[in-house]
Structure 1
């Protein structure tokens, strides 16, 4: 989930090409309104977005008791963001730009091999 359409398209294309199904959202509100959000196996979310931040969105998911494994990404990571992410039960925080191979390794480590590879 990223408010930057180019980033959403690039990441979703990369992940989809690896064999995973992908849903994209341009805001935290859009993800929170998604009726099948409980089926999300892995959430990749930008920290800084208009309206609700990725961290605020994660806090909302925690309140529902149904937060997926989450990886935060950010181009503008402040020490406060790093501190806050460190307090959450998430996979971590990747600074943009990041290596697609590193992202792929994290996805496989979290979810196992993609369905297409099975």
Structure 2
């Protein structure tokens, strides 16, 4: 699988991370795959966004100021928003990984991760097969 082969059919990938440099880099990477991206600096920003209903996939940092990625995912599920979710973290603890996967995460990525790893997770979240 190569990242150059991915093309979008109007999928919107929402990225929530409290680190601006990560948001910018992730948004650019997602767009280089051919998908639209929307970035948010906090869970509250995403929850209050008009982009929430249109998100095809959600990429969440596990540890953020305020509402954590795991808490945001739980709130979305509780309100009927079942968005395929990819968690990412700089602190990949086994317990946190297990908790995220039990909650229905599509992928759990340890930072730093490669482009192909992210693309594979996004394609998995969107139900696409690698070419």
Tell me which interval the TM-score lies in, with the shorter structure as reference length.
Answer: 0.7 to 0.9
1:46 aligns with 2:71: no
* Structure 1 residues without counterparts, runs of 5 or longer: 114-118
* Structure 2 residues without counterparts, runs of 5 or longer: 1-15
The whole-number CA distance in structure 2 between the counterparts of 1:107 and 1:75 is 19
The whole-number CA distance in structure 1 between the counterparts of 2:109 and 2:65 is 19
> Number of aligned pairs?
113
The whole-number CA distance in structure 2 between the counterparts of 1:52 and 1:109 is 26
Residues 2-21 of structure 1 deviation map (CA, whole Å, 9 limit, x = unaligned): 11111110110011122111
Task: List, as ranges, runs of 4+ consecutive aligned residues in structure 1 with deviation greater than 4 Å.
Answer: none
Residue 66 of structure 1 deviates from its aligned partner by 1.1
Residue 17 of structure 2 contacts residue 64 of structure 2 at CA under 8 Å; is this kept in 1? yes
Aligned to 2:32: 17
SS at match of 1:72: strand
TM-score normalised by structure 2 residue count: 0.80
Higher helix share: 1
